[in-house]
C-alpha cells in the first residue's frame, strides 16, 4: 500500500512529501520509490507512574498513535504539517489548490458524506447540542501554533497513559482521542487548548463512503469532478479499492503494479474497475456469497462429512492451525469462527462449504488437484487460497 501511495503522490506532483519511517526497512523501501524519508524509531509505550515502558505492540492502533509524538516534534520546530495515512490516494497537489485553507490550527478530513454530517447540525433536544461526523485522524493539516503544539502534547501523553498493556483491557483509539481533544471544553485540571478547527470539504478530500456510495453513482459528478484525495477508510479491501481508484485517475503505467503486474490493469478492470465494488463490503459479484444462507456443521454434505471424518485439521495457504469441529465451530490462527454448508443460487447441486472468521466470509469447495486439497474463495474480493486437509487429524 505504501508503494501505491507514493506513486500517487508523484503523479499528483507532490514534491514535499516525507515518509516518517519507524524502521530502516520501511525507509529503504520508500527511498527506492524516490521518496524523502525521516527515520524515527519510536516504540509504542505505556506510562506507568513516572516511567514510560515499551509495550511491544505493533498493531495498527498502537502504531498510529505514535503520529502525535512525531507531529509534536515537527510543530515545535515551527513546521506545519499535512498528515496523511498511506491508504490515501492523492489525485491533485493540495498545496496548489484552494481546497486547503490553512487558516485554522487544525483542518481535518471528515467521515461525513453530506453537508449535515460533515459540517454539523443542531440536535433538537432539551439540551441544545451540535452533532457531526467524526474528523478522521488519518488526514489533517495542523499549523505550527502554540495551541496546536499543546494539543499534540496532550495527545502524545494520552497515547502513553491510555495504551493497552496485558492487564488493561481497553485502550484509547487515536481517532477518538483526536476528536475529544478537538471538542472537549476545559476541565478542572486540564485547560482547553484554545484551537480553531476547520473541516475539509468532503467532496475535495473524500472518504471512501462518499466516493463509492454517492459520487460513483452520480454520472455527471463522476465525469466532471476530480477529488484532491480519496481516503479508503470505510472499507476493509483497502489496497484493491485504492488500486482501482488509481487506475481511474492516474491510469496504468510501466512503472506501476496495481496488483496484476507492472503496466497491467487491475484484476477488476474487466468488471469496471471502481464499478466492480459494492458500496458496502466486497465486490458486487460476491453478493450471493456474502448473503447465502448458512447452516453450521456438515448436515447433508459429503465434502463436510469427509472433512470431519479426516479429523478436521488443515492448513490455510500453508499456515497450520485450522480445526473444523463437527458442530460447526472453527479454530484458526487468527481467531475463532464458524463453518458449515451453503448453497449457491442456480447451482444448488454443488457441494460447497463456508468458512467465516475475523470478519471475512469464504466459500470452500473442491480443488482442481482433488482431495485432500480444497479451494477457499474470499467473498469480498474472490481471492483464492489452497486448504490442505491433514488425514487422520
Per-10-residue mean pLDDT for the chain, 393 residues long?
94 95 94 93 61 51 79 97 97 95 96 94 82 92 96 90 59 89 80 90 97 97 97 94 96 87 91 94 90 91 94 95 95 95 88 94 95 94 93 71
pTM: 0.84
| DSSP-H helix ranges across 33-161 | 60-64, 67-76, 115-119, 146-161
Output b/e per residue, 48-78; b: 16+ Cβ within 10 A.
eeeeeeebebeeebbebbbbbbbbbbbbeee
Q: What is the pLDDT of residue 247?
A: 96
Q: What is the pLDDT of residue 323?
A: 96
Residue 343, all three cell numbers: 448453497
List, in order, residues 6 or more apart from 116 with CB less than 8 Å away: none
In whole angstroms, give the CA distance from residue 18 to residue 94.
15
Contact criterion met (CB below 8 Å) for 83 and 139: yes
Q: What is the pLDDT of residue 167?
A: 45
In whole angstroms, give the CA distance from residue 232 to residue 103.
26
For the chain, give the longest Cα–Cα distance: 69
In whole angstroms, give the CA distance from residue 340 to residue 368.
21
List, in order, residues 6 or more apart from 348 with CB less than 8 Å away: none
Length of the chain: 393
Which residue, 289, 311, 313, 309, is CA-closest to 365?
Answer: 289
Alpha carbon 157 to its chain centroid, in Å, reads: 25
Amino acid at each position: 500500500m505504501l508503494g501505491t501511495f507514493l506513486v500517487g503522490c508523484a503523479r499528483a506532483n507532490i514534491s514535499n512529501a516525507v515518509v516518517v519511517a519507524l524502521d530502516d526497512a520501511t525507509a529503504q523501501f520508500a527511498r527506492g520509490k524516490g521518496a524523502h524519508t525521516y527515520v524515527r524509531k519510536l516504540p509504542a509505550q505505556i506510562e506507568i507512574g513516572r516511567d514510560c515502558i515499551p509495550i511491544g505492540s505493533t498493531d495498527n492502533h498502537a502504531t498510529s498513535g505514535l503520529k502525535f509524538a512525531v507531529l509534536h516534534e515537527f510543530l515545535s520546530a515551527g513546521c506545519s504539517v499535512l498528515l496523511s495515512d498511506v491508504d490515501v490516494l492523492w489525485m491533485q497537489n493540495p498545496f496548489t489548490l484552494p481546497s486547503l485553507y490553512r487558516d485554522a490550527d487544525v483542518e481535518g478530513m471528515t467521515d461525513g458524506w453530506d453537508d449535515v454530517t460533515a459540517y454539523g447540525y443542531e440536535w433538537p433536544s432539551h439540551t441544545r447540542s451540535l452533532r457531526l461526523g467524526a474528523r478522521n485522524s488519518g488526514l489533517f493539516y495542523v499549523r505550527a501554533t502554540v495551541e496546536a503544539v499543546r494539543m499534540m502534547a496532550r495527545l502524545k501523553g494520552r497515547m502513553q497513559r491510555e495504551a493497552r498493556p496485558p492487564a488493561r483491557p481497553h485502550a484509547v483509539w487515536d481517532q477518538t482521542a483526536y476528536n475529544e481533544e478537538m471538542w472537549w471544553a476545559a476541565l478542572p485540571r486540564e485547560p482547553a487548548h484554545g484551537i480553531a478547527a476547520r473541516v475539509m470539504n468532503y467532496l475535495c478530500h473524500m472518504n471512501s463512503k462518499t466516493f463509492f456510495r454517492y459520487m460513483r453513482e452520480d454520472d455527471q459528478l463522476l465525469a466532471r469532478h476530480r477529488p484532491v484525495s480519496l481516503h479508503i477508510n470505510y472499507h476493509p479491501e483497502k489496497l484493491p479499492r485504492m488500486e482501482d481508484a488509481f487506475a481511474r485517475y492516474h491510469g496504468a503505467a510501466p512503472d506501476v503494479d496495481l496488483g496484476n503486474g507492472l503496466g497491467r490493469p487491475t484484476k477488476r478492470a474487466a468488471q469496471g474497475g471502481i464499478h466492480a465494488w459494492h458500496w458496502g463490503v466486497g465486490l458486487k459479484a460476491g453478493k450471493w456469497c456474502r448473503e447465502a444462507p448458512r447452516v453450521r456443521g456438515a448436515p447433508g454434505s459429503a465434502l463436510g462429512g469427509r472433512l470431519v471424518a479426516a479429523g478436521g485439521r488443515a492448513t490455510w495457504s500453508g499456515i497450520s492451525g485450522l480445526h473444523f469441529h463437527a458442530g460447526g465451530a472453527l479454530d484458526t490462527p487468527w481467531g475463532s469462527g464458524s463453518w458449515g454448508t451453503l448453497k449457491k443460487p442456480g447451482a444448488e447441486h454443488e457441494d460447497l462449504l463456508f468458512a467465516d472468521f475475523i470478519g471475512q466470509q469464504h466459500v470452500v469447495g473442491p480443488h482442481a488437484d482433488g482431495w485432500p486439497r480444497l479451494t477457499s474463495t474470499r467473498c469480498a474480493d474472490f481471492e483464492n487460497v489452497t486448504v490442505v486437509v491433514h488425514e487422520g487429524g
